[in-house]
Amino acid sequence: MLAALIIVFREVFEAGLIVGIVLAVTSSVPNRNRWIGGGVLAGVLAACLVAAFAGALSQLFAGMGQELFNASILCIAVVMLTWHNVWMAHHGREMAGELRAVGQAVADGTKSLLALAVVVGVAVLREGSEVALFLYGVAASEGGSALSLALGGLLGLALGVGVCLLTYFGLMRIPPKALFATTTALITLLAAGMAAQAVAFLERANWLNSLDTVVWDSAWLLPETSIAGRTMHTLIGYTDQPTEMQLLVYVAVLIATFMLMRFAGSQPAKPAPAVG
């Protein structure tokens, strides 16, 4: 039971941080609950499908199927998060402007909501599939009744949802003028961190061997397995033993996002149609 609680809490905790940030980002956008809720539901359904084929997935590609699967969906999330930030750099001012511009803002906002819904979906899919595989391993190695596993899982789920709510309400206490800059920075760091995590999965699967020297070991100061370490891992991609390639990709995503946002922000937005 305790193992199930810890496993489910850890994975829901990581997904919950991302969902909380996305909810804060879209707090003023109409119909955001429908899009984000749809992303969560799609992620849960996809995770259930992955769970049904957990054994087969883990055995693919010489036993590295889960690592390659995780790397793939992390790459999708990086693209979607970067797309959202670039879109906001181009349209953010009109979304935050006067109500007469709301028609075009909502129409364009749907595109951004789609990107964030995909991010939420793949985050839930990734963590949900890992829950399925980890619980499968716990059941196989430690035994235990299905009831104790289910009870531990439900407790972990409740704690993880609590983290999501705390993240959301914590961000919503930030003054509106600072919220855009704060969430933009968080999403940029999320994308860079996910890109570095994708590199780690590819290195673990021996699909990426270049620049694999560990740069430092900070496990003595902040272990990645601790609560604080997992929080930093999710928010900014922290790892206590990063490789040169992970750092290179992390910095490259930050620079690319910054440059794309500057370019998009310098382009004039299309005038919004008048709302009658």
Residue type, position 188, single letter? T
User: What pLDDT sits at residue 175?
Assistant: 75
Element (H, E) at 206: none
Contact status, residue 123 vs residue 187, Cβ threshold 8 Å: no
Distance CA(272)–CA(240), nearest Å, equals 47
Partnered with residue 214 across adjacent β-strands are 243
The DSSP symbol for 223 reads: -
Q: CATH: 1.20.950, 2.60.40, 1.20.1250, 1.10.3470. Which one for 2-266?
A: 1.20.1250
- What's the CA gap between 260 and 152, in Å, rounded? 44
pTM: 0.70
Terminal-residue alpha carbon distance, the chain: 59
The domain limits of the chain are 2-266
Give the separation between CA 210 and CA 100, rounded to whole angstroms.
Answer: 53
pLDDT (tens digit per residue) in 92-134? 555 444 333 434 444 445 556 777 788 888 888 877 877 776 6
Question: Tell me, what's the pLDDT at 140?
Answer: 55
Statement: residue 32 has pLDDT above 70? yes
